[in-house]
Structure 1
Amino acid sequence: MTIIKVELKTLSGKPVDRASVIVDFVQGRSVVKLGRKNKFHWEVRSNQEGLAKIPAIPQGKIRIQVNAKGFQTFGEIFDVEEEQKTIAIRLNPPQAQHSEHQ
């Protein structure tokens, strides 16, 4: 099992608070109870320091998605093999809108 901390910052290094962090277990050493696989899915929010703490999950591949107001949505798959891991994510500002009707 692995305990994960997700550290969210802007490109300039400021913490991003109240961001929605979604973690899904993709593949690896899944826990089987009574003959059925457990699905692992968590939704947490980052605190004022930009940290989101995820409860212990099986080691393997996880998908992390981050939604924060005023930033581009982030999504990536990570390998977790350690007992504790901190994943640092830098959030990009939104892209400019493009329109053919200007």
Structure 2
Amino acid sequence: MNGMRKTLLSIFAVLALLCAAPNYARGQEPQGKPKPDAAKPEAAKPESTKSESTKTDAVASDKAVKPSGVSTLHIEITAGDNDKPVDSASVYVRYPKARMFGREKLPEMDLKTNREGMVKVPNVPRGKVLVQVMAPGWRTYGRWYDLDQPEQTIKIKLEKPTRWY
């Protein structure tokens, strides 16, 4: 009885450590970076610090001008010799999302084109994006794109399917 109790206690201790370690690691900050003095008002800071803070404000405003990690994607789909817009084509947008232990998951957005053959995809993370298009009577299309601008337009021309005998 006493040996079983020790075994159970040691198992629970190991499980508690395994569950607590990731949460503890998330709460840690890097040791090399100092914590910002956000709690101090500007008037209470020394004169030399004020000029440094205006420099950092200027750098922060430059960073604000830089695009964020999200992009809006416009996709135009045409087909045939006349570049006719494809109505109600299924558009799948997938982008890799990093997960724990290096595994990646591909979240997916499923959309349909309008009568002009266009679809707008908001809030797509920048980086590699897989765009797949399926329309009845046309060859399936799929290609990886790199998104690096706040708004990006992709023009896709579908081809006729191969003939089967």
Report the TM-score when normalising by structure 1.
0.81
Q: Which stretches of structure 1, 4 residues or more, deviate above 4 A after TM superposition?
A: none
For the 8 Å contact 2:96–2:105, the answer to whether it is kept is no
Offset of residue 7 of structure 1: 0.3
Q: What is the CA–CA distance in structure 2 between the aligned matches of 1:68 and 1:92, rounded to whole Å?
A: 10
Letter in structure 1 aligned against 2:86: V
**Greater fraction of residues in helix:** 2
Q: 1:56 aligns with which of 117, 123, 126?
A: 123
Matches within 5 A, 1:62-77: 62-77=129-144
In the comparison of the two structures, how many residue pairs are matched? 91
> Higher strand proportion, which one?
1
Which amino acid is the alignment partner of residue 76 of structure 1?
A: R
Equivalent of 1:7, from 76, 79, 83? 76
| Change in 2 beyond 3 A, CA 1:73/1:38 | closer
Q: Which has the higher contact order (CA 8 A, sep 6+)?
A: 1
Distance (whole Å) between structure 1 residues aligned to residue 105 and residue 143 of structure 2: 22
Q: Which amino acid aligns with 1:16?
A: V
Superposed, 1:17-56 pairs within 5 Å as 17-26=87-96, 40-56=107-123
CA RMSD between the two structures: 2.0
Q: Over residues 62-90 of structure 1, what are the superposed CA-to-partner deviations in whole Å (9 max), with x where a residue is unaligned? A: 00110000000000000000000110000
Higher Cα radius of gyration: 2
Q: Which amino acid aligns with 1:95?
A: T
Q: How far is the alpha carbon of 1:38 from its aligned partner?
A: 8.1
Query: Tell me, what secondary structure is at the counterpart of 1:4?
Result: strand
Q: Distance in 1 between matches of 2:106 and 2:164?
A: 37
Provide structure 2 residue ranges, at least 5 long, that are not aligned to the other structure: 1-69
> CA contact under 8 A between 2:96 and 2:106: conserved in structure 1?
no
- Please say if residues 87 and 113 of structure 2, whose CA atoms lie closer than 8 Å, have aligned partners that are also in contact: yes
Q: Distance in 2 between matches of 1:61 and 1:26?
A: 7
Asked if 2 retains the 8 angstrom alpha-carbon contact of 1:40 and 1:57, the reply is no
The answer as to whether partners of 2:90 and 2:113 remain within 8 angstroms in 1 is yes
Percent identity (aligned): 32
